[in-house]
């Protein structure tokens, strides 16, 4: 007997069209991010409750993302593979913290960042919630949805540009944001986080980068995170110097120091990803090409 495969229903073919998946899954992840911020605001005076909200919403978003990938997109959701998760998250956390610490070291040597003293270790706790929420939910939205689907559709170069621009422009909604700060984030963070995804073909490394950077920025170095109000962390500091170097009221992300450090790291990771065969050509150059897993 000849096996006859069951044709994919029309409604499922429509759902699997790249633009439709982009809008549907993007909406779900955006809702998760918005609700996480909303509920954390309701329990702003309780660090423990904020952490619980951030972790809970991140887990819920991961489940929704995996379910959508499995049952709507019809894929294995290998970008959330569990076996390498702990290792890649740990590496990402360490590298993200190291990148931000490198920027602070440059500012200390330049006389811009001065350490005035230390606060109690309990000051390390409040920064966990926002770092987890932003790191997991923004990576699911901007790399898991936007970068991945556009790359599959139009290739790696176009996807890097599109996802980076949207990521930077989204930060224009933050307090103290300027066009230059958004452009800095587009290049330095957009490239770095897209390259992290391309290198491993998984989300964990980029999530680690994002959480590690955001966490030490506020909880350790008492810095503003993308224009949000400065919350006291472990280190009491004084920052004085030109905004081009310090990032001004927006934070270190808007500084030339972070731009150089993160963009350089992103280029290195991108070159590694290309050497591994993880680059997706544009549709007119593919000829059956598939990125290596």
Tokens found for residue 96: 């993200």
**Distance between CA 23 and CA 38 in Å, rounded?**
22
**Distance between CA 209 and CA 167 in Å, rounded?**
15
* Structural domain contains residue 209: yes
pTM greater than 0.85 (yes/no) = yes
Confidence bin at 230 (pLDDT 50/70/90): confident
Q: Which of 158, 153, 162, 151 is nearest to 197 (CA)?
A: 151
Domain count, the chain: 1
Domain that holds residue 198: 78-284
Tokens found for residue 222: 């008492």
**CB 159 within 8 Å of CB 264:** no
* Structural domain contains residue 54: no
* Structural domain contains residue 97: yes
* Structural domain contains residue 277: yes
pLDDT digits (tens, 9 = 90+) for 43-93: 999 999 999 999 999 999 999 999 999 999 999 999 999 999 999 999 999
* Structural domain contains residue 35: no
How many CA atoms within 13 Å lie on the side-chain side of 216? Answer: 20
**CB 21 within 8 Å of CB 73:** yes
* Structural domain contains residue 7: no
pLDDT digits (tens, 9 = 90+) for 84-136: 999 999 999 999 999 999 999 999 999 999 999 999 999 999 999 999 999 99
**Distance between CA 176 and CA 257 in Å, rounded?**
19
CA 283 to chain centre: 26
- Is the pLDDT at 1 greater than 50? The verdict is no
């Amino acid at each position: 007997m000849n096996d006859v495969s069951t044709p994919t229903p029309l409604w499922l073919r429509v759902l699997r069209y790249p633009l439709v998946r982009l809008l549907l899954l993007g909406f779900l992840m955006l809702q998760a991010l918005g609700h996480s911020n909303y509920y954390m605001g309701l329990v702003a005076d309780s660090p423990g409750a904020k952490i619980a909200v951030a972790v809970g919403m991140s887990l819920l978003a991961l489940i929704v993302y995996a379910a959508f990938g499995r049952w709507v997109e019809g894929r294995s959701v290998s970008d959330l593979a569990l076996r390498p998760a702990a290792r890649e998250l740990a590496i990402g956390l360490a590298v993200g913290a190291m990148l931000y610490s490198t920027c602070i070291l440059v500012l200390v040597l330049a006389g811009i960042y001065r350490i005035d003293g230390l606060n109690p270790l309990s000051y390390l706790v409040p920064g966990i919630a926002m770092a987890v929420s932003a790191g997991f939910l923004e990576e699911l939205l901007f790399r898991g949805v936007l970068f991945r689907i556009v790359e599959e559709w139009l290739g790696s170069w176009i996807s890097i540009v599109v996802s980076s621009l949207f990521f930077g422009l989204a930060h224009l909604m933050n307090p103290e944001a300027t066009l230059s700060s958004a452009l800095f984030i587009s290049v330095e963070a957009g490239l770095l986080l897209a390259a992290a995804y391309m290198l491993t073909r998984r989300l964990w490394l980029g999530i680690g980068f994002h959480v590690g950077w955001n966490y030490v920025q506020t909880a350790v170095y008492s810095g503003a995170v993308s224009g949000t109000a400065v919350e006291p962390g472990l280190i009491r500091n004084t920052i004085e110097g030109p905004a081009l170097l310090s990032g001004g009221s927006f934070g270190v992300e808007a500084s030339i120091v972070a731009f150089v450090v993160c963009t350089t790291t992103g280029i290195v990771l991108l070159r590694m990803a290309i050497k591994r065969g993880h680059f997706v050509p544009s549709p007119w150059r593919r000829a059956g090409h598939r990125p290596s897993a």
